[in-house]
């Protein structure tokens, strides 16, 4: 491909977690803007349904689906090698809330929650970041969680994994800070998705998937390091982090 071809060809997006509601919203937002989009997921049938929905809603035709199991770390390098081209942007929205009570008693379940939210995404983005750095530019967006800002009894296994992921993204951002590879951490807070369907969400602190997608897409022109999708969450988590541990451990959160 010549330099002219690269300049004229549409930009490309890879969404890791292509069956999720947020992943679908992100992919739809980018596809509507003329980007080539690839949805990567373990469940390719589910991702395929999302791809069909995106094509119908946006009229975009360049929406592809690729198989990727975020727990199969040995598949990451072959997956990246097999892409038609290195994407301009990677958005990782992989997540598994899991069950806290079960995780306390079932080490296998706790392991799956931790690996899905931290180990797999971090190792995949490390490989993508190395290729972006070699190329000289790119945007990597990791969707983390406010649950990682402080451990709480109600979801500390999930929160610990997200805290690790946020710390990883911070370190990667620091390592590549002098390059044109930008690393963003996005913390949506509560989002109205199938994953939270059984939760009693707080309206003013709950975002729609499309709002998360818009904040992520805005990073293409206005890079930012850490993004709370709803600004109220920045204040809420500042207050929660400021509570002394002696008092915090007595609270039911």
Assess contact for 64 and 15: CB atoms under 8 A.
no
User: How many CB atoms lie under 10 A from the CB of residue 98?
Assistant: 20
pLDDT at 8: 62
Rg, C-alpha atoms of the chain: 18
38 neighbors 12 (Cβ within 8 angstroms): yes
In terms of Cβ atoms closer than 10 Å to its own Cβ (0-12, 13-18, 19+), residue 10 is: middle
| CB neighbour class for 238 (10 Å; exposed up to 12, middle 13-18, buried from 19) | exposed
pLDDT of 207 reads: 87
The whole-number pLDDT of residue 89 equals: 98
pLDDT attached to residue 2? 43
Domains defined along the chain, listed by start: 3-248 (3.40.50.720)
The segments of the chain whose pLDDT lies below 50 read: 1-5
Residues with active-site annotation: 158
Residues 6+ apart with CB under 8 A from 140: 89, 90, 92, 125, 128, 129, 132, 172, 181, 182, 183, 184
pLDDT recorded at residue 4: 40
pLDDT, position 9: 78
């Amino acid at each position: 491909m010549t330099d002219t071809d690269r300049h004229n060809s549409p930009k490309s997006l890879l969404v890791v977690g292509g069956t999720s509601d947020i992943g679908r919203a992100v992919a739809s937002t980018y596809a509507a803007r003329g980007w080539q989009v690839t949805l990567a997921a373990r469940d390719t049938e589910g991702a395929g349904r999302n791809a069909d929905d995106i094509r119908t809603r946006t009229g975009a035709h360049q929406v592809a689906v690729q198989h990727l199991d975020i727990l199969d770390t040995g598949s990451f390098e072959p997956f990246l090698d097999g892409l038609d081209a290195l994407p301009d942007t990677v958005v990782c929205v992989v997540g598994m809330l899991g069950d806290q009570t079960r995780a306390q008693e079932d080490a296998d379940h706790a392991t799956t929650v931790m690996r899905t939210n931290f180990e797999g995404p971090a190792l995949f983005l490390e490989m993508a970041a190395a290729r972006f750095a070699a190329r000289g530019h790119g945007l990597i967006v990791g969707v983390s969680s406010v649950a990682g800002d402080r451990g709480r009894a109600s979801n500390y296994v999930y929160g610990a994994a997200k805290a690790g992921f946020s710390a990883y993204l911070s370190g990667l951002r620091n390592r590549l800070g002098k390059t044109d590879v930008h690393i963003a951490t996005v913390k949506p807070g509560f989002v109205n998705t199938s994953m939270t369907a059984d939760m009693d969400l707080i309206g003013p602190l709950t975002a729609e998937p499309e709002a998360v997608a818009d904040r992520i897409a805005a990073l293409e022109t206005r890079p930012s390091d850490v993004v709370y999708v709803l600004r109220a969450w920045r204040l809420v988590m500042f207050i929660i982090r400021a509570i002394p541990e002696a008092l915090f451990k007595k609270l039911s959160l």
